Structure 1
Amino acid sequence: MLTIILLSVATCLVFLYFKYSNRPKNFPPGPRGFPVVGYLPFFGTNPGESFYKLKEKYGTVVSVQVGREYWVILNGFDTIHNALLKEGEKFSGRPSNYIFEIITKGKGLVGVDYGPAWKTLRKFGNQALKGFGVGKKSMEEHIIEEIPFLLESLTSSGNKTIQV
């Protein structure tokens, strides 16, 4: 009786694994991983080498499961060039992270996905930095003017700490 129950539970677990571990539609090919950890144990000490081996088997665009997430790995200069320069808007998003969402409450520039909100925040940030002189020649001139004084104070102090 116990054997039948264990066999039933194992069958249900295998069924659930295959039901929920399917790749999303239109995803590139790639190897299957273990339940929960995915392909992570196969990365080894040098993941780049592992990705290169996957390139030989599956092509320049490969997908692997890492934990509960699916990663798309781009191998090869032409593939990366095409993705980042010619298809930039498709590859400029941010992955969603549950813990990060809790901490930031959906606000801030770092976690915002590419879109109208990101463009607005970026524009505001650039304008604020320009107000402080970032990107202007005058700021560079002030820094170059102050460097000799900084070097003089550092060399005259020897190995002692200084306060500026």
Structure 2
Amino acid sequence: MGHDGAMREEPAEHLRFAAYLHELEQVSDAAEADLVSAVLTDPDLTMARSAVLRHLDRRAMDLHLGPAYEQWAESMARTTLHHPLLGRRLREWTLFRAIELGQSWRPDALLAASDWLQRKAAAASNADAVELLAEHGRTKRIRNTARAGLQHGRQH
């Protein structure tokens, strides 16, 4: 509501963003890559990437511990090839998956990762990752989260 009591028009890109999120939540696995590609053709690329990033995070959270993740991540990597931010987020989910599943991962990759991934890994169950971040995490918040996790782990 505006000051005069009239409804304000929602900006078109906000409406498209909400519509994209809704479509992405409903999409079938078979149609997912095509829909992501279509969203990334929106003239407001910043908004489109934001919608796809939110979708990737939601899907990766659901899939990252299971066997379906690898094929999904490969498909999404191909679909987002020309969008470095989205490709990086997928690579970071793959690194987080390796850390969570106790697979091999490189400490330098975690230390070079975004604050977003370091925060996730600092709160994860992998003691090697948590110890690394308690000592070398990029921000004080990351180091403190990791140290708290180490303290909590020692009490059990």
- TM norm structure 1: 0.26
Structure with greater proportional helix content:
2
- TM norm structure 2: 0.26
